[in-house]
Structure 1
Amino acid sequence: MQRLTLTLTLALTAQATLAQDTPDGQWHGGLSVAGAFASGNSSSRTLSANANASLATARDKISLYGLANYGRNKVDGINATTADLLRVGGRYDFNLGPQLFSFGAAEGETNKAGGVRDRYNLTGGVGYHLVKNEANSWDVFGGLGYTASKLTDGSNANGVQVLLGEESSHKLSETTTLKQRLVYYPGGGDLGDRATFDAGLATTISGAWTLNAGLSSRYSDRVPTGTKKTDNLLTVGFGYKF
């Protein structure tokens, strides 16, 4: 693994790892900022931020998200950046029927510690609601996307890729919700195989305050020499949802 960053700390501001999909025409979501600091024989600092929002109606849904993670260590007077990630994106879903929907999405990312100077994706396709009720939902989807990547070794990887994915949401109890999403991009041209996985667990502890855990994992078959192919980010903290 490129790195497994674990942040166990109280959020400094609000967090709602899981945006709600209630089709009420209102925005739901949240924001989190977390950090860990150490000093002494060695010093380190880790900062992470997570934001998401969604607006759903009976006809369509807009989803927006952002993720940032920065880490830096100093040992024996030598500074090293251990994490340098920024990812933002959005998706629009339009219901074609009770089960069938279409979607379009865009995402931008930089992750220099992971070998990616910048990467942009534009995707579109269709999906199907396998399960959709008040407690659980499970969708499968597929389509085509265009990816433009510039790696830290100066090389480029651009082209069209097929995408296949699934995502689900589960109301485990009156206070706990779990969401997960897996997308696979089969190898195409210089891009190689890619896969992304995101999961989040939120438990209400008082009013709108929640205890949250999130996992973001990225795999890329095409990385600069000396860079590992898998990146993982695990965060845990308190938050607030709206």
Structure 2
Amino acid sequence: MFASALGLATVGPALAQVPPLLTVPDRRVVPGDAPDLGSDAVWKFAASLGGSKTSGNTDSTQLNVTGEAARITDDSKLNLAVRGFYAETNDTRTGANLYLNTQYDRDFTRDWFGFGKLDALRDHPANIHLRTSAFTGVGYHVVRTSENTWDVSGGLGYTEDRYVRPAQVAGALRDEYGRVEGVLSESSSHKLTDTTSIRQKLGVFPNLKNSGEYRVVFDAGLSVAINSALSLTAGWTYRFDSDPGIGVNKVDTVWVTGIGVKWD
């Protein structure tokens, strides 16, 4: 058997995502911490690539790519991210999705901030031709230091799913399904050593149109720096949808590793 790999992806059902690559300092100065980035802070960029290829008794291909950009000022943060995953075994596609995300946070006091968030997901193995979401709300900085951050937030938004095949969702056979959703979220980042950092984010999205239904999204990631530009990355993603449609799994998970590069 021949195998080559930039990284490894171990996948449950589809819907892979990789946690954010960029770890940026807090936007406001805390005494003893890093200096203020200023209102004209530069953009920061990161990208990660991982995959594997085998041939012989089993022919398989796996590839995951992630790109992220962030612009930080003294009182705001704009984050843009794109993530893609593809897997094929014996000429049969076993996973394929593309995820786009943008979020803007702006502080209106030392501890409180407002946010706006847009998401788009394409995942045919999960019967999602296109899922689009828009949310807005407020959040609170529970912890804000140069080495540790922890935010909690909540808000409202709207999500619309368009399906690859008609799905039995919310008691009816549908080609698409739109609904108002709430969002309750917490996220944190931690610098464990000079070279090692971790991040995690949990979001719960209750369906306000169909009581009792909800989605859960959890991402966790580890980054170990090789030098100032390169790092080894690992991530785990968990997705739960209480009403994805008949014949579609409620839970999607993915493990990924890869090599990341950062630049300003």
Q: TM-score range by the shorter chain?
A: 0.7 to 0.9
Identical aligned residues as a percent: 31
Q: Is the 8 A contact 1:53 1:63 kept in 2?
A: yes
5 Å matches for 1:34-73?
34-73=50-89
Task: Give me the whole-angstrom Cα distance separating, in 2, the residues matched to 1:16 and 1:141.
Answer: 18
Per the alignment, residue 10 of structure 1 pairs with: 6
Gaps of 5+ in 2: 8-17, 28-36, 167-173
Mean alpha-carbon deviation: is it higher for 111-120 or for 138-147? 111-120
Per the alignment, residue 247 of structure 2 pairs with: 226
Q: TM-score, normalised by structure 2?
A: 0.81
Measured after TM superposition, the shift of residue 58 of structure 1 is 1.0
Gaps of 5+ in 1: 1-7
Measured after TM superposition, the shift of residue 41 of structure 1 is 2.5
Q: Is the 8 A contact 2:19 2:199 kept in 1?
A: no
1:93 partnered with 2:114: no
- Structure 1 residues 132-187: Cα deviation after superposition (integer angstroms, max 9, x where no partner): 01110000000001001012332222111111000001111111111111000113
Q: Give the CA RMSD over aligned residues.
A: 2.0
Per the alignment, residue 241 of structure 1 pairs with: 262
1:129 partnered with 2:130: no
Measured after TM superposition, the shift of residue 63 of structure 1 is 0.6
Per the alignment, residue 230 of structure 2 pairs with: 209
Q: Is the 8 A contact 2:237 2:253 kept in 1?
A: yes
- Structure 1 residues 185-214: Cα deviation after superposition (integer angstroms, max 9, x where no partner): 113335931011111111112232211111
Amino acid at match of 2:21: L
Mean alpha-carbon deviation: is it higher for 58-67 or for 138-147? 58-67
Per the alignment, residue 167 of structure 1 pairs with: 187
Measured after TM superposition, the shift of residue 16 of structure 1 is 9.9
Amino acid at match of 1:145: G
- Structure 1 residues 15-46: Cα deviation after superposition (integer angstroms, max 9, x where no partner): 99521323421222311222211112331111
Q: Is the 8 A contact 2:244 2:250 kept in 1?
A: yes
Task: Give me the whole-angstrom Cα distance separating, in 2, the residues matched to 1:215 and 1:27.
Answer: 26
What is the DSSP-based 3-state SS (H/G/I as helix, E as strand, rest coil) of the residue aligned with 2:165? Answer: coil
Task: Give me the whole-angstrom Cα distance separating, in 2, the residues matched to 1:128 and 1:151.
Answer: 35
1:21 partnered with 2:24: yes
Task: Give me the whole-angstrom Cα distance separating, in 2, the residues matched to 1:129 and 1:144.
Answer: 19
Task: Give me the whole-angstrom Cα distance separating, in 1, the residues matched to 2:100 and 2:255.
Answer: 18
Q: Runs of 4+ in structure 1 displaced over 4 angstroms?
A: none
Alignment coverage as a number of residue pairs: 228
Amino acid at match of 1:240: V
